[in-house]
């Protein structure tokens, strides 16, 4: 619950806020009936408010308190809703069609839109067949007249579907399923879909045609299964309906608007076609006296109130599909069916997930270690290079890894309205912050050594900023082992630690007594050390240090620590102390550590 969002609301809107919640758990709003199975997954971690019957204004008023929104086809997720949802990270459509969601506005706001691409296709196909048979056999009218006390057998003679021709426009998931079912009913199926695979169609026994002109005159039944797009709006208007057989019947379980409703009404009234089975309308529910309402009430029409996906099984499927994705996204993971982000196949997702975590932490470590206590805006104007070695080098869709780096780099310095970086907006945010990121795949490489995959993050000043004298290169290297992530190199130091929790990274002279001093300083502040590692110079840096006899090492950050202790005339041996700690690491603690003898630099890293 976001207390600020609550207190900002006027008293008379409090009735729509939902039950008070006692902690700061993220909240998910469900303004429509979504199956309980998926929601139960979310309730373990989040407060899930099911609040049906909200008006558009009420939705805008309460949305600021929510991180997630799960809708079906009734809720209009407009640009205004998305702009008001300052904390929103994901809008999930428990179904297929996202035409009720302003996907462009979601993308601009960095909000991931996910759906369930196949959870309800069986239901939609079966409903299409139900309408096909109901229209063929006048089931709707027969039921209504019988209930009205009439017995009108002679007026309700139907037609058979077997050996008839079914035309399908849109041979996608639902269309193909309908085709197979229709073939099972003994129908001949012809289809129009410029993007369908000819092989798949042939394999299913469907004849593809090239144009509406080829399709329409030959069909006894016509069903459309395309999304509602500019190219499919009013796809069947007067001229097309006039091309059909007078005995033909049409079906719509896709979207209201693919048939022009005025034209369809006229076609039925004037007998250009014989009947229709309609599940969807341009406005739902249809406005009184509109063409949609007159179609729904028409004696030649069997109509249902958008029931295509309304089966117990389909609703469980779509609910599980989208709730799993919402859970993953709110945990910082990747969705499997994002509408406004590149598709991540489940196996690809499983493979990338630990590297997403690794690279995000490398980014966080970079900003907090290298930039801490130094010039502000340290990441802006820098050029980063992500090098993927070993098995990871063969991954072509690295968008999640790119996004993870941007997220890691900016998360500790970002107040971007609480909105997280994700695969949707990562490139935009990087550009806004002046961060350039190159990715390099090194395939035939022995540098990954014992690791199956190795990731190197290299940073230097971008060419534009070459006037600055701070063009030092910084390196972080890491790998994944099992499901755990490790840092193996931090600048010139060879390390082996898990980048998690509250870390103190101390750059010091490699001399006896340093560990004791640091332990004593932390003890004074009541801070407990739960893990510690000393990272020595890597081979190359060690050679340089051994060769150099200097008046104290020339170190980046020199002078920030206790300079009085700089030894003279000795090989410049340095080390990093990496401590994972419990307790409140305040500015005083950091200052105290910085004053310890031989400490050159201290950074606090929270991952």
Ligand X SMILES: NC(=O)c1ccc[n+]([C@@H]2O[C@H](COP(=O)([O-])OP(=O)(O)OC[C@H]3O[C@@H](n4cnc5c(N)ncnc54)[C@H](O)[C@@H]3O)[C@@H](O)[C@H]2O)c1
Catalytic site positions: 255, 284, 306
Please identify, using beta-carbon distances, which residue of 226 and 367 lies nearer to ligand X.
226
Q: How far is the CB of 396 from ligand X (least distance, A)?
A: 24
Question: Do 241 and 249 form a contact (C-beta atoms < 8 A)?
Answer: no
Q: Could you give phi then psi for residue 456, rounded to 5 degrees? A: -115, 130
What is the per-residue binding string for ligand 3PG in 117-136, x denoting contact by CB under 6 A? Answer: ---x----------------
Say how far apart CA 215 and CA 208 lie, in whole Å: 9
Q: Of ligand 3PG, ligand X, none, which one does residue 400 interact with (CB within 5 to 8 Å by kind)?
A: none
Nearest approach, Cβ of residue 96 and ligand 3PG (Å): 4
Q: Which does residue 601 touch among ligand 3PG, ligand X, none (CB within 5 to 8 A, set by kind)? A: none
Q: Which of 309, 326, 423, 572 binds ligand X (CB under 6 A)?
A: 309
Please tell me whether residue 451 adopts helix, strand or coil conformation.
coil
Task: Give the one residue of 175, 275, 363, 598 binding ligand X; rule: CB under 6 A.
Answer: 175
Instruction: Please state the closest distance from residue 122 (CB atom) to ligand 3PG, in A.
Output: 12
Q: How far is the CB of 158 from ligand X (least distance, A)?
A: 23
Our finding on whether 187 is near ligand 3PG (CB under 6 A) is no
Do 187 and 162 touch, CB atoms closer than 8 A? yes
What residue 196 binds from ligand X, ligand 3PG, none (CB within 5 to 8 A, per partner kind)? ligand X
- 3 state DSSP class of 251: strand
Residues 115-144 touching ligand X, rule: CB under 6 A, are 120-121, 124
Number of residue whose CB is nearest ligand 3PG: 95
Residues 442, 446, 449, 453, Cα dihedral to 10°: 20
- Shortest Cβ 246–ligand X spacing (Å): 24
CA nearest to 221, candidates 293, 267, 273: 273
- Is cis: bond before 32, omega within 30 of 0? no
Retrieve residue 577's tokens. 């102390």
CA atoms within 13 A on the CB side of 439: 19
Task: Give the x-and-dash track for 307-326 against ligand 3PG (CB under 6 A).
Answer: -xxx----------------
399 binds, among ligand 3PG, ligand X, none (CB under 5 to 8 A by kind): none
Of 44-103, binders to ligand X (CB under 6 A) are: 96-97
* Torsional class of 583: left (φ above 0), alpha (ψ -120 to 50), beta (otherwise): left
Q: Which stretch binds ligand 3PG (CB under 6 A): 16-24, 95-103, 259-267, 398-406?
A: 95-103
Q: Annotate each residue in 188-217 with x if it binds ligand X (CB under 6 A) or - if it does not, as one string.
A: ----xxxxx---------------------
Where are the extended beta strands (E) located within 118-226?
165-169, 188-192, 207-208, 221-224
Between CA 77 and CA 79 the distance in angstroms is: 7
Contact with ligand X (CB under 6 A) among 135, 244, 248, 254: 254
Q: Is 274 in the site for ligand X (CB under 6 A)?
A: no
Tokens of 589: 């603690």
Q: Are 355 and 392 in contact (CB under 8 A)?
A: yes
In terms of C-beta density within 10 A (0-12 exposed, 13-18 middle, 19 or more buried), how is residue 580 classed? buried
Find which of ligand 3PG, ligand X, none residue 68 binds, CB within 5 to 8 Å per kind: none
Using CB under 6 A as the binding rule, whether residue 26 contacts ligand X is answered as no
> Could you tell me which stretch among 210-218, 306-314, 446-454, 596-604 binds ligand 3PG (CB under 6 A)?
306-314
Closest Cα to residue 180, out of 229, 112, 125, 250? 125
Q: Which residues contact 467 (CB under 8 A, 6 or more apart)?
A: none
Contact of residue 254 among ligand 3PG, ligand X, none (CB under 5-8 Å per partner type): ligand X
Judged by beta carbon, residue 120 or residue 282, the one nearer ligand 3PG is 120
- Mapping DSSP to helix (H, G, I), strand (E, B) and coil, where does residue 574 land? strand
Beta bridge partners, 486, equal 479
Residue 72 contact, options ligand X, ligand 3PG, none, Cβ 5-8 Å cut-off depending on partner type: ligand 3PG
| Rounded CA separation 94/39 (Å) | 11
Find, among 534, 479, 507, the residue nearest to 369 by Cα: 507
| Coil, strand or helix at 82 | helix
| Contact of 242 with 272, CB cutoff 8 Å | yes
Assigned token pair, 405: 């780096």
Residues 25-84 that bind ligand 3PG (CB under 6 A): 72-73
Site string for ligand 3PG, 249-288 (x = CB under 6 A): ----------------------------------------
> Which residues sit at the interface with ligand X, rule CB under 6 A?
96-97, 120-121, 124, 169-175, 192-196, 225-227, 229, 231-232, 253-255, 279-280, 306, 308-309
> Which residues sit at the interface with ligand 3PG, rule CB under 6 A?
72-73, 94-97, 120, 306, 308-310
């Amino acid at each position: 619950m976001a207390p600020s969002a609550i207190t900002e609301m006027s008293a008379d809107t409090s009735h729509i806020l939902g039950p008070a919640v006692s902690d700061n758990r993220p909240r998910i709003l469900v303004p429509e009936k979504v199956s309980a199975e998926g929601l139960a997954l979310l309730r373990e971690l989040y407060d899930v408010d099911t609040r049906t019957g909200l008006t558009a204004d009420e939705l805008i008023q309460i949305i600021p308190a929510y991180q997630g929104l799960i809708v079906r086809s009734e809720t209009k997720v407009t640009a205004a809703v998305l702009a008001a949802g300052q904390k929103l990270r994901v809008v999930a459509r428990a179904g297929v069609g996202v035409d009720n969601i302003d996907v462009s506005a979601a993308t601009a706001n960095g909000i991931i839109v996910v759906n369930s691409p196949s959870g309800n296709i069986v239901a939609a196909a079966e409903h299409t067949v139900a309408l096909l048979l109901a229209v063929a056999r006048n089931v709707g009218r027969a039921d209504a007249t019988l209930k009205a006390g009439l017995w009108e057998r002679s007026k309700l003679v139907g037609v058979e579907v077997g050996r008839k021709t079914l035309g399908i426009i849109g041979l996608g998931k639902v269309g193909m399923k309908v085709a197979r079912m229709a073939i099972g009913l003994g129908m001949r199926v012809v289809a129009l879909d410029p993007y369908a695979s000819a092989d798949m169609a042939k394999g299913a026994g469907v004849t593809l045609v090239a144009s509406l002109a080829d399709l329409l005159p030959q069909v006894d039944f016509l069903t459309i299964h395309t999304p509602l797009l500019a190219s499919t709006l009013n796809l069947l208007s007067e001229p097309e309906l006039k091309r059909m057989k007078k005995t033909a019947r049409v079906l719509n379980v896709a979207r209201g608007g693919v048939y022009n409703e005025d034209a369809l009404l006229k076609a039925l009234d004037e007998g250009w076609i014989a009947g229709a089975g309609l599940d969807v309308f341009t406005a739902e529910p249809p406005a009184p006296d509109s063409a949609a309402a007159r179609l729904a009430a028409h004696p030649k029409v069997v109509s249902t109130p958008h029931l295509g996906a309304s089966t117990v099984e389909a609703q469980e499927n779509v609910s599980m599909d989208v709730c799993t994705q919402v859970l993953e996204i709110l945990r910082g993971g990747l969705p499997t069916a994002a509408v406004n982000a590149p598709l991540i196949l489940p196996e690809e997702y499983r493979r990338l997930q630990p590297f997403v975590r690794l690279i995000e932490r490398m980014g966080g470590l970079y900003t907090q270690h290298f930039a801490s206590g130094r010039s502000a805006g340290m990441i802006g104007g820098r050029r980063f290079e992500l090098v993927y070695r070993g098995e990871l080098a063969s991954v072509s869709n690295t968008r999640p890894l790119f996004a993870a780096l941007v997220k890691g780099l900016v998360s500790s310095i970002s107040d971007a309205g609480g909105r997280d970086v994700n695969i949707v907006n990562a490139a935009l945010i990087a550009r806004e912050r002046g961060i350039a990121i190159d990715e390099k795949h090194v395939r035939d490489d022995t540098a990954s050594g014992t690791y199956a995959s190795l990731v190197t993050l290299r940073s230097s000043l971008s060419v534009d900023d070459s006037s600055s004298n701070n063009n030092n290169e910084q390196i972080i290297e890491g790998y994944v082992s099992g499901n755990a992530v490790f840092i193996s190199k931090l600048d010139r130091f060879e390390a082996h630690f898990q980048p998690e929790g509250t870390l103190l990274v101390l750059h010091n002279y490699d001399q006896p007594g340093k560990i004791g001093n640091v332990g004593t300083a932390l003890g004074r502040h009541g801070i407990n050390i739960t893990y510690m590692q000393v990272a020595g110079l890597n081979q190359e840096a060690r050679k340089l240090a051994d060769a150099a006899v200097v008046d104290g090492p020339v170190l980046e950050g020199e002078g920030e620590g206790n300079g009085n202790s700089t030894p003279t005339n000795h090989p410049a041996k340095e080390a990093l102390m990496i401590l994972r700690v419990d307790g409140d690491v305040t500015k005083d603690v950091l200052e105290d550590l910085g004053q310890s003898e031989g400490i050159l630099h201290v950074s606090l890293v929270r991952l």
